[in-house]
Amino acid sequence: MVFQFKRADQLERWKASMRETVSDRRVRRFARESSGSEQSLNEIADLAEQKLLPSIDREMRSYTLSWQDVSAIHLSKGVYERVVKFAGLDKDPGKIVVDAACGCATFLSLLKEHSVLGFDINPYSLELGAQVMADSGRPIGTYPDFYISFDPDRGFVLKPVPILEELDLKKGNLIADDITTLQNTMRVLYMNGVKADVVTFMLFGGISQRKAIEFIDLMRELNGVQTGSSAADSSQSAIDSVIRNAHRICKKDGKLILGIRFGEFILDDDIKSSLGLIVSPSLSELEAKYRDFISITKVDKFELPQENGVSGITTGPALITHQMLDPKLEDALKRIQQNSISLLLIEAIVKNE
């Protein structure tokens, strides 16, 4: 059954916050000082309202529905159950678990004996996640709101609305947050005077997954200009952020559980980049790079269920083929589809900085 989104006003509220930001005298003064005119500011704002924001809204809705399908496959094939057991969350109840980029919260719906906090940059995923949690018998607090802000370094960005109240962690909550900052997550935990026992970050691979959305890059993309970033860059920066900032949200000697989707392909580096594939480092390379932040304690690897033909996954043909411009990628895609995709699970102990 196709999920019916109830937050129909999301796009209009984004447009309203964009207009409010553009009218801010400090933003307009900054634009004058930077370019000598407010014209470029007005042009970006008009383009955002007419083209960028509707595009983001459609992308987020589509991604949520496709990830719902993929999550159902993972649930039915026991993928999430295996992660629960790997993390030891089936034996020791009462933990505080934070799930980074939680998507539609299918994994969290299994953690009935724990206090859960999931966050995502996609408000529609959070809305669907609230329904998934309710269907599992656990109604949950949901704080999915974002707004348009102006950053001097990045221009207009889509940012989570700060959560300033103390949330009931035992009830469980899904919140808006940016994986590159974790500010809302840190704030929610701080307001309760706690840190997480376990932080999880798994099954990232959706090419639509973004950090705080930078409109200048999106504007260039819509006009056919290469921004130099890729899905692989986005996923790698997300991994890096979670590992380096784990100590901010997880207690000392708490657990960080990473689930890295990978396939073993013999492809040229430029093709891997074009398809948004991550060149996964070895465990020794991971330990060397992040030795100040984590200590890897155990690993597991298993084959994921077939995902080809399901959008929302980096290696899914329905996602890649409509984006490909270079015919030479066709052969690479066929070779990828003939290989299985596996999940590498990593358990690490979080160190204090």
Kindly report the number of other CB atoms within 10 A of residue 19's CB atom.
13
Question: What global pTM score does this model have?
Answer: 0.83
Report the DSSP pairing between strands 250-262 and 342-350: antiparallel
Summarize pLDDT for 94-131 with one digit per residue, the tens.
999 999 999 999 999 999 999 999 999 999 999 999 99
| Predicted confidence (pLDDT) at residue 62 exceeds the cutoff of 90 | no
Q: What is the CATH number of domain 10-350?
A: 3.40.50.150
Report the DSSP pairing between strands 173-176 and 141-143: parallel
Summarize pLDDT for 250-268 with one digit per residue, the tens.
999 999 999 987 765 545 5
Mean pLDDT for 235-247 is 87
Exposed (0-12), middle (13-18) or buried (19+): which is 23, by Cβ within 10 Å? exposed
Q: How much is the pLDDT for 209?
A: 41
Exposed (0-12), middle (13-18) or buried (19+): which is 296, by Cβ within 10 Å? middle
User: Torsions phi, psi of 226, nearest 5?
Assistant: -70, 130
Range with top average pLDDT, 132-141, 281-290, 329-338: 132-141
Q: Break the chain into its structural domains and give their ranges.
A: 10-350
Mean pLDDT for 271-293 is 69
Mean pLDDT for 175-203 is 94
214 vs 103: which has the higher pLDDT: 103
Under a CB-based contact definition with an 8 Å cutoff, are residues 279 and 234 in contact?
A: no
What band does 195 get if pLDDT is binned at 50, 70 and 90?
A: very high
Residue with token string 């376990």: 198
* Single-letter residue type at 152: P
Q: Which of 47-56, 227-236, 333-342 has the lowest mean pLDDT?
A: 227-236
| Predicted confidence (pLDDT) at residue 22 exceeds the cutoff of 90 | no
| Predicted confidence (pLDDT) at residue 243 exceeds the cutoff of 80 | yes
> 231-249 vs 183-192: helix axis angle to the nearest 10?
20
What band does 305 get if pLDDT is binned at 50, 70 and 90?
A: confident
User: Torsions phi, psi of 14, nearest 5?
Assistant: -65, -45
Q: How much is the pLDDT for 254?
A: 96
Residue with token string 């594939």: 277
Q: How much is the pLDDT for 323?
A: 41
